[in-house]
Structure 1
Amino acid sequence: MDVFDGLPDAIIVDILNKVGDVRTLLRCSSLSKRFNSLVPQSESLSLRLDQFVTTESQPGSPVSNSFQSSLYKSFQGCISRFSKPAKPITIKNLSPDIPSKILSKFARVKKLEVVLPGGDASLEKAAAVKWKAGYGKTLETCTVLAFRSASTVCSPSPAYSENESDAEFVNGLKTRVEWTISALIAASTRHFLMSQVVKEHEEMESLVIHDKEGEGTVVMGTEGLREFRKSEAAREGVDERVEKNRSVVPSVRMSMRHAPSLKLKSGICLESATLVIVRPSEGYSDIGDDELATEAFAGNCMYGEAVVALLKCKKNALEMNSF
C-alpha cells in the first residue's frame, strides 16, 4: 500500500500550497486522477512567467501551442517540455491572457506571487531605480529610489550635499522626473498584465508582482483587489488603457527629495540620489510618507540607509497630469 495515498485530501492540498510553484504543480496534475483533482485547489501560488513564455510565443497567442498540449500529455511529455531553457521576454509584449491561461486550471487562488523575467524601467546606462507601488482600481502609492551611479569615490564629510546651482537643479530635475515616469509606467504595465487574473480569481486576497532582478514591486491587498473588481464591473466595455499594454496613471502629486552626492556608512557614494513618493492628486495627503518610504525598502541595507538620509533633505512638491 502506498502510504501517501492514505493521507487525507486536506493534507495533500496543504503540501501543494507549500510547493507553490505553478510549473511544478502543473506537472503534479499529470501524475494521477487524484492529483489532477487536488492541484486546482491550491491556494498559494508562485508563477514565474519566463518559464512558460519564450520569444517564439506571439503576443496574440496566450501560450505557445506546445505548452497548451503539454498540459494534456503524459508526465514524461511535461518533463521534456519544461526542461527546455526559457529565453528572455519583454514584459510589454505580454498579454493579460497569458497569465490568465496558465492559471485557468486553479480555482481557489488566494495568494499569488508573480515573478517577471526582468525589470522594465527605461534608464540611462549605470543608473539604477528601485520602486514599490500599491494598487487598487488604480495607483494608490508609489515610492521610487534612484541614482545615476554608485562608486567609492565621494565628496568628503557630510552624509549628503545640497550644494548645487539653480541651473544644475533644473537640469537634474528633468532626469529625476524621467526616472519617476519610467517607474510609474513599469508599475502600470504590471498592473494591467494581471488585470484578467484578478477579475477571474475572485477569492484572491493578496497579489505581489516583482521581477527577479529586484527592480520594482506591485502589491495589491484584499481591499485593493476588491476595489479593482468593482471598478472593472462598473465600466465594462470602456477601454481606458494607454498603448494597449498598461493601466492609466492618474493625476498625481510627487514629494521629491534628492542629493547630488550621497555618502553611505558603507563608503558607497550615490550620485544624484533621488527619493520620490507619489500619491494620486484626488484626496491627496502626505501623512505617513516617511513611514511609506522606509517600509518600501526595509530589509535592503544600502537602499534603506539611502532613504533615511534622503528624508533629511529638502522636499520639493510637483504635480503631474494623468497619462
Structure 2
Amino acid sequence: MDISKHQHKNNFDQLPDDIVLFIFNKLWGAQWLCRCSVVSKRFASIVPHINNVSVTLSRYHAWSIEEEVTSPVFNYLVGLKELMHLHIETHFCCAVDWKHSWSPHLKWKVNFNTNVRSFTFLMANFLIRAELPPAEDEGEDEEKEDEEEEIQNEMYIRQDAELDRFNMALACFADSRMKLNIVLDMIKKHQMLRGIMLTDTMKEGKIVVFGNQIAELRNLERAKLSTPEVDSDGVEFLVKCCHLPSLHLPKSKLLMNSPSLLYIRCVNSSSDDEGDDVIDEDMLAGSYDDDKEGVYSEAVEEILAKHKNKMSTAWVT
C-alpha cells in the first residue's frame, strides 16, 4: 500500500511555493492563470502573487474618456496586488461605422502625460518594392514634377477619400485617448506596477509606460486632483494633414501608394503657440508599433523633408 501510494503521488506538490510562482510568472496569459487558479486551493492562493500578466480583450468595449474602466477581465486584475508587468491587447474602443475595410497599412503614435498631447497618424493603400526614379536636374524639372503630381492628385486622390481618411484619423485619435484612459486606470489600481504596454489587435499603435514614467504619471494625477479644472473651452486642436499620390522611400527602397499623414496637437489657448520646428520634432519622435524596418518613420521624414509645402493646417475647438 505504501509503495502504491508513493507511485501515485504528484511530484508537482513537492515543489515549494516560490518555484510554482516562478512557473506561473512564465505563463503570462491571463486565461491560463485563471485556469490554474481553479485547479486547487493551493494554486488559487499562489496566483494572486504573480508579477507578469498578458490580457487580450476578445470583444469590443466602448468606454468614455472620463469613466472608470470596468470589465470582468479588469476586475480580475484588481485582485493581483503584486502585479509588476502588464501587457494589454485590445480591439478598437470607439463605436465607428467604417465605410471601407480596415487597412493593414495604418499606424499611429501618441505623445502623452495624463492626456494625449499630440497624435500622429499615417496611412497608405499599399507598399511595394520599387527602384527610385532617376535623379533629375533641379529648377526646370521641379516645375514639371509639380505639374505631374497635380495630375496624379486629380486622378488618385479624391476629396471624398481625403475626408474619409481624415474622419478615420479623428476616430483613431479618440481611440488612443480611450486606450490612455485604460493605461492610467491600471497604473492607479496597481501600485507595484513597473511597466505597462497597451497595443491593439491590428498592431496599428501602442502606448508604453515603463520605470520612472509611471511614478511621474502618478504624481501628475495627484496634482491634477488638487488643481482646479481648466475650462475645456480654452483647449484647441491644431490639425496638420498631407495627402500624396505616392511616396518613394530611398532607405527602404519602397513605394508607398497614396500616403496620408495627419497630426493633431492639443493646444491650450493660454499658452504660447509652438513653432513648426517643435511640431516637426514631435512628429518624428517615438516609434510606430510593429515597424521593425522603420518604414513609417522614414515616410514621415520624407514628407516633412520634401512635401511640407503640401501640408495644410487647421484649428478645431
TM-score, scaled to structure 2: 0.66
The structure having more radius of gyration, on CA atoms, is 2
Q: Distance in 2 between matches of 1:207 and 1:139?
A: 17
Unmatched runs of 5 consecutive residues or more in structure 2:
1-8, 136-144
Whether the aligned pair in 1 keeps the contact of 2:118 and 2:266 (CA below 8 Å) is: yes
Q: How does 1:1-323 map to 2 (within 5 A)?
A: 2-50=10-58, 88-92=59-63, 96-98=69-71, 99-118=73-92, 120=94, 122=96, 123-126=98-101, 128=103, 129-147=106-124, 149-150=125-126, 157=133, 163-164=149-150, 171=159, 174-175=163-164, 177-236=166-225, 251-254=236-239, 256-262=241-247, 269-271=256-258, 273-281=259-267, 284=274, 285-286=278-279, 288-289=281-282, 291-292=284-285, 298-299=291-292, 303=296, 306-315=299-308, 316=311, 318=313, 320-321=315-316
Deviation at 1:104, TM superposition (A): 2.0
User: Does structure 1 retain, via aligned residues, the 8 Å contact 2:51–2:84?
Assistant: yes
Any idea what the Cα deviations from partners look like across 1:29-76, whole Å, max 9, x if unmatched?
1222332222112111111121xxxxxxxxxxxxxxxxxxxxxxxxxx
Which stretch of structure 1 is more off in the superposition, 205-214 or 17-26?
205-214
Is the CA contact 2:111–2:117 (under 8 Å) kept in the aligned structure 1? Answer: yes
CA distance in structure 2 between the aligned counterparts of 1:281 and 1:41, rounded to whole angstroms: 42
Aligned to 2:139: none
Compared CA separation, residues 134 and 176, structure 1 to 2 (3 A): same
Against the structure 1 CA distance between its residues 124 and 261, is the aligned structure 2 distance closer, same or farther, given a 3 Å change threshold?
farther
Aligned to 1:60: none
Shift of 1:103: 0.8
Residue pair 1:136, 1:225 contacting (<8 A) in 2 also: no
Question: Sequence identity of aligned pairs in percent?
Answer: 22
Q: CA deviation at 1:21?
A: 0.7
Residues 255 and 278 in structure 1, CA contact (< 8 A), matched pair in contact too: yes
Across the two proteins, how many residue pairs are aligned to each other?
272
Counterpart code for 2:45: S
1:158 Cα offset (Å): 8.0
Could you list the runs of 5+ residues in structure 1 that have no partner in the other structure? 51-87, 241-247
Residue-by-residue CA offset, 1:127-184 (whole Å, 9 max, x unaligned): 633212243311144331113x3387x9x9489x86238x979947655543432221
1:177-202: CA deviation from partner (whole Å, max 9, x where unpaired)? 43432221010122224443321112
Contact 1:134 1:218 in 2 (8 A): no
Contact between 1:114 and 1:208, CA under 8 Å: does it hold in 2? Answer: yes
Report the CA distance shift for 1:235/1:119 in structure 2 as closer, same or farther (over 3 A).
closer
- RMSD in angstroms over aligned alpha carbons? 4.2
Deviation digits for residues 105-133 of structure 1, max 9, x if unmatched?
A: 21111211111145758554156332122
Q: Cα–Cα, structure 1 residues 39 and 269, in superposed 2: closer, same or farther, change >3 Å? A: same
Q: How has the CA–CA distance of structure 1 residues 197 and 188 changed in structure 2, closer, same or farther, with 3 Å as cutoff?
A: same
Q: Structure 2: which amino acid aligns with 1:275?
A: L
Contact 1:136 1:220 in 2 (8 A): no
Match in the other structure for 2:3? none
Map of 1:81 onto structure 2: none
Higher mean C-alpha displacement, 198-207 vs 261-270: 261-270
Question: Are the aligned partners of 2:118 and 2:263 in contact in 1 as well (CA < 8 Å)?
Answer: yes
In 2 relative to 1, CA 31–127 (structure 1 residues): closer, same or farther, beyond 3 Å? closer
Partners of 2:301 and 2:95 in 1: CA distance? 24
**Residue 97 of structure 1: SS of its match in structure 2?**
coil
